[in-house]
């Protein structure tokens, strides 16, 4: 059966997003629901893929488009570009996943010098017709012919200047007709060709431009940011035009069925009279609240409210809707599941459960660990002194502080130097995406809550204030002026509150989030008089804990961190790094250990370290009483605890130059040079260190065992687990295990109390993963050290590569995301799969976990659930994220298994 590349709206449905894109599939769905959708058709993503792969459209595409265009003309009773009563169409992108503003749209296709006269006659408005024509040339020039939009904006500014006005609406039909001729001149000069007057040529070129926009720089950047696959392609939606710019009885707007910023129920959105859709999204004019439509056109408003309720009930979720009113007639131009802030995601999902639309399982699948992490960031301190200089629309919540910059490039430049910036623009456009990503927050003087800045910021979880129209932004002077004559220049610090819309001069202190405060207390939300957000988080955390299989432990090295981890829901410690206990004042003892020139001297240094380590473990065992504590024996090379070789060399040389040689420093320098390694991450560390320095690991095991015995004698229930790092061969583990078991037995006999402790190893060397079946014979547990496993598996030195070439790899699409941030499931994940399968085959009751920071990465948690690990371990602050994602992973796996 030959490939079908074009579908009428009535032929599709919302389940065909892969083929028709999200916009096309939802237009089809609304058509099938009987809603007022302008007729049209969709060119599939498959056609786009052929075009991108071969450089030309499929051979049969033109004929299919002609066939559907003819059917559309029959339906409308009009012909594309007809001189007397023209059919006009929009050509719009529509990928599977929403990419707001990242790809192209061309409106009013079909207008030329003849059809504009017919449009004027049929509409009864010369001004409307010429305004539509100038919009076509402007959009076509920018989108299809790649002309810098400033050329058109400058021409509009000149026309307004000649008219002595700042308002586009003050330009009459004659002004706009002159502007059309001016725009044609811009096309002729900048593109080296005439503006095409053949309607079908306009449409075909616009379709190709939409296809090409899939690989535009901003689209590529957005896909990387949102982790959208690069091979999906975009559909193209060709829809008969309806007009919101016919006069005061017409308009265009964007509506949400609930507030996408807070999740609150109610009427939410923007409306703009006598305008086309791009005017709302571009933010070139400040909008009216959607509620004002009730006074402007109550029948259209009432119908819109009814349709919004129908769509939310049908999709069972918050819906984002674009609509146009043409001479009091409502038309639906788009709907989709609405982007929302992290807080709104939790609140809306909770509301839908209460309303019986979805169950708790589905609600949990609609919130993410990444969203929960956003909610754990701080907000401005309510009690702090603040100097508010302006107020805009609260477009995307959060608190952001930084130096003001006025261009995307400058934002990127300063952010790369480690400076926090606030990107200030009149309004943003898709080309500002890089700067929006780099900035702490975005502030615009124009636009509403559905402008480009607002939509993109909400999707990224970035703080944003829009429409602060009291600010006079001067991009040439790199400054803005606030009421009262306050001038803010580039580099000055401002603070923006995306929750209230307030803009403050200077740095405002921040306070913890309500969600963090909830996790920090054992009180139920009701007892805290919590808001809807905390109640929703509480409900979903309980449900996640009920359905998850993976346990969640903490990476913690101190009693304080351990206590916090337990409050955050940790079920033990998966990684206690003992090397952190050798820092501070204890460095002196490490130096003595290294400088010891006899067994007696070395043992004396170990004996001095042991009680200090024991005291550390006592506090941790107390904090985690009744829960497992996995203690990793010392891992890094000893030279990391010594002075820098350069600094020490200089100190020794200066002392000798002064005639006051420092014998101890000189000896220390000799040892530092002896221990120096070209690649210390692959040198004398981990188990190798325990084998090379007699008594080092035994001292640590004894401190663990004595601390556990002390806690047990005091009525506690310590559950220590001893983890040997960097094992690559089972023989290494066997030697250390024998030594550890002897120490444990000795302490038990001396203390008069049994001290059971599991002994296992980290799997962080690729050879260990590939020989896991052998190593399992000497281990009671494996814990995957994914940081080192990633380094060694990729051949990367993490400290070097992230600063040197990772940005290039990300830019070129070699990485979608750093493998240190989210696990490389294909490569490093395969090593983990092998180790799990072979380890469990050799020892079915082998306990398996992960203790790299990947244990708190949402995507990685799903992989760890899938391969059958027993627990993940992460930093205390990420424990709630891991708990939530472990619940979501269990539900996702169940759905996948049910569908097989």
580 given a catalytic annotation = no
Cα 98 from chain centroid?
14
Which residues fall within 8 angstroms of residue 290, CB to CB, at 6 or more apart? 253, 255, 267, 268, 269, 270, 271
HEC profile for 267-304? EEEEEEECCCHHHHHHCCCCCEEHHHHHHHCHHHHHHH
Kindly state the tokens that stand for 209. Answer: 């431009």
892/531 Cα distance (integer angstroms): 29
Structure tokens at 179: 């502007």
8 Å CB contact between 226 and 220:
no
Q: State both tokens at 585.
A: 């004042």
- CA dist 173 → 84, 120, 127, 170, 249 (Å): 19, 10, 4, 10, 18
Q: Report the SS3 class of residue 577.
A: strand
Burial classification of residue 873, based on how many CB atoms lie within 10 Å of its CB (0-12 exposed, 13-18 middle, 19 or more buried): buried
Q: Which residues contact 71 (CB under 8 A, 6 or more apart)?
A: 8, 41
User: Based on the number of CB atoms within 10 Å of its own CB, is 305 exposed (0-12), middle (13-18) or buried (19 or more)?
Assistant: middle
Structure-token pair, residue 816: 């979608």
* Sheet of strand 329-337, all strands in order from the earlier edge strand to the far edge: 288-289, 265-273, 251-258, 319-326, 329-337
DSSP symbols for 83-96? SSSEE-EEEEEEES
User: Which DSSP string do the residues of 368-395 spell out, in sequence order?
Assistant: -HHHHHHHTS-EE-TTS---EEEE-EEE
Strands 502-505 and 493-497, by their bridges, are antiparallel
Give the number of other CB atoms < 10 A from CB of residue 670.
Answer: 12
Q: Which residues on adjacent β-strands are paired with residue 553? A: 873
Round to whole Å and give the CA distance between 776 and 773: 5
Chain centre distance of CA 37: 33
CA 336 to chain centre: 20
Q: Select which of 48, 68, 319, 452 is catalytic.
A: 452
Tokens of 161: 């200047």
Which residue carries 């067994």 as its tokens? 599
48 catalytic? Reply is no
Residue 21 zone, left/alpha/beta (φ > 0; ψ -120 to 50; rest):
left
Is 169 in a helix, a strand, or coil? helix
Do residues 665 and 652 touch, judged by C-beta distance below 8 A? yes
Q: Are residues 421 and 400 in contact, defined by beta-carbon separation less than 8 angstroms? A: no
Nearest-CA neighbor of 800 among 679, 685, 683, 684?
A: 679
Q: What's the CA gap between 376 and 78, in Å, rounded?
A: 56
* Distance from C-alpha of 539 to C-alpha of 408, rounded to nearest angstrom: 40
CB contact set of 181 (below 8 Å; sequence gap of 6+) = none
472 sits in which H/E element: strand 472-474
Which of these is catalytic: 851, 862, 865, 874?
851
What is the end-to-end Cα distance of the chain in Å, rounded? Answer: 27
- Residues contacting residue 781 through CB under 8 Å, at least 6 positions apart: 630, 721, 723, 758, 760, 761, 846, 847, 848, 849
3-state class of 759 per DSSP? strand
The catalytic residues are 452, 851
């Amino acid at each position: 059966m030959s490939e079908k590349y074009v579908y009428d709206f009535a032929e599709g449905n919302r389940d065909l997003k892969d083929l028709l894109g999200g916009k096309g599939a939802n237009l089809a769905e609304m058509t099938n629901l009987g809603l007022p959708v302008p007729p049209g058709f969709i060119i599939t993503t498959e056609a786009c893929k052929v075009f991108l792969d071969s450089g030309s459209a499929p051979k049969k595409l033109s004929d299919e488009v002609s066939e559907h265009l003819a059917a559309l003309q029959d339906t409308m009773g009009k012909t594309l570009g007809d001189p007397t009563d023209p059919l006009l169409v929009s050509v719009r992108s529509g990928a599977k996943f929403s990419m707001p503003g990242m790809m192209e749209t061309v409106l009013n296709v079909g207008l030329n010098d003849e059809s504009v006269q017919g449009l004027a006659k049929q509409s009864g408005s010369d001004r409307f017709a010429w305004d539509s024509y100038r919009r076509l040339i402007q959009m076509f020039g920018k989108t299809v012919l790649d002309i810098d939009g400033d050329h058109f904006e400058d021409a509009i500014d000149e026309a307004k200047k000649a008219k002595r006005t700042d308002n586009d609406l003050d330009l009459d039909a004659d002004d706009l007709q002159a502007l059309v001729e001016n725009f044609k001149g811009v096309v002729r000069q900048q593109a080296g060709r005439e503006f095409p007057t053949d309607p079908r040529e306009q449409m075909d070129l616009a379709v190709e431009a939409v296809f090409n926009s899939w690989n535009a720089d901003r689209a590529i950047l957005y896909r990387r940011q949102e982790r959208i696959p690069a091979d999906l392609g975009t559909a193209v939606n060709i829809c008969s035009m309806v007009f919101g710019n016919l006069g005061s009885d017409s308009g265009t707007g964007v509506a949400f069925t609930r507030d996408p910023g807070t999740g609150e129920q109610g009427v939410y959105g923007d409306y703009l009279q006598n305008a086309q859709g791009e005017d709302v999204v571009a933010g070139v004019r400040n909008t009216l609240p959607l509620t004002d439509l009730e006074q402007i056109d109550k029948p259209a408003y009432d119908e819109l409210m009814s349709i919004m309720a129908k769509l939310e009930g049908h999709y069972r979720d918050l819906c984002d809707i674009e609509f146009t009113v043409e001479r009091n007639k409502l038309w639906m131009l788009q709907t989709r599941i609405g982007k929302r802030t992290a807080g709104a995601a939790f609140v809306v999902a909770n509301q839908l459960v209460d309303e019986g639309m979805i169950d708790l399982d589905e609600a949990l699948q609609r919130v993410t660990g990444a969203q929960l992490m956003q909610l754990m960031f701080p907000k401005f301190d309510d009690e702090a002194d603040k100097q508010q200089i302006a107020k805009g629309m609260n477009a995307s919540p959060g608190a952001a502080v930084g130096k003001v910059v006025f261009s995307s490039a400058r934002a990127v430049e300063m952010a790369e130097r480690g400076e926090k910036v606030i990107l200030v623009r009149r309004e943003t456009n898709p080309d500002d995406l890089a700067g929006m990503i780099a900035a702490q927050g975005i502030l615009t003087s124009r636009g509403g809550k559905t402008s480009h800045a607002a939509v993109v910021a909400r999707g990224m979880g970035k703080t944003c204030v829009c429409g602060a129209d009291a600010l006079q932004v001067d991009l040439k002077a790199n400054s803005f002026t606030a009421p009262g004559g306050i001038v803010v220049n580039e580099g000055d610090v401002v603070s923006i509150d995306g929750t209230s819309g307030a803009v403050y001069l200077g740095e405002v202190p921040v306070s913890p989030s309500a969600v963090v405060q909830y996790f920090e207390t054992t009180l139920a939300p009701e007892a805290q008089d919590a808001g809807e957000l905390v109640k929703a988080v509480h409900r979903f955390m309980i449900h996640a804990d009920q359905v998850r299989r993976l346990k969640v432990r903490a990476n913690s090295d101190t009693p304080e961190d351990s206590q916090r981890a337990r409050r955050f829901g940790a079920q033990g410690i998966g990684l206690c790094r003992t090397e952190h206990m050798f820092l501070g004042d204890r460095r002196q003892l490490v130096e003595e250990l290294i400088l010891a020139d006899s067994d007696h001297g070395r043992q004396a240094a170990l004996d001095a370290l042991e009680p200090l380590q024991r005291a550390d473990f006592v506090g941790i065992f107390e904090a985690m009483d009744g829960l497992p504590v996995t203690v990793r024996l010392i891992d890094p090379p000893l030279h990391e605890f010594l002075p820098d070789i350069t600094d020490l060399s200089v100190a020794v040389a200066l002392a000798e130059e002064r005639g006051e040689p420092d014998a101890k420093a000189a000896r220390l320098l000799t040892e530092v040079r002896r221990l120096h390694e070209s690649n210390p991450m692959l040198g004398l560390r981990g188990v190798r260190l325990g084998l090379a320095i007699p008594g080092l690991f035994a001292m640590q095991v004894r401190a663990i065992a004595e601390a556990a015995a002390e806690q047990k004698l005091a009525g506690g229930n310590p559950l220590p687990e001893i983890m040997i790092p960097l094992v690559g061969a089972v023989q290494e583990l066997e030697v250390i295990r024998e030594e550890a078991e002897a120490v444990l037995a000795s302490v038990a006999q001396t203390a008069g109390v049994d001290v059971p402790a599991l002994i296992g190893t980290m799997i962080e060397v690729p050879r260990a993963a590939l020989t896991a079946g052998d190593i399992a014979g000497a281990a009671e547990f494996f814990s995957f050290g994914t940081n080192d496993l990633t380094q060694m598996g990729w051949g990367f030195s993490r400290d070097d590569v992230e600063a040197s070439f990772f940005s290039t790899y990300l830019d070129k699409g070699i990485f979608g995301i750093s493998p240190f941030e989210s696990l490389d499931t294909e490569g490093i994940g395969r090593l983990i799969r092998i180790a799990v399968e072979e380890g469990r085959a050799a020892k079915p009751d082998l306990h398996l976990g992960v203790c790299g920071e990947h244990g708190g990465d949402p995507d990685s948690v799903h992989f760890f659930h899938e391969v059958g690990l027993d627990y993940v371990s992460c930093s205390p602050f990420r424990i709630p994220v891991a708990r939530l994602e472990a619940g979501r992973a269990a539900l996702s796996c169940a759905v996948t298994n049910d569908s097989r």
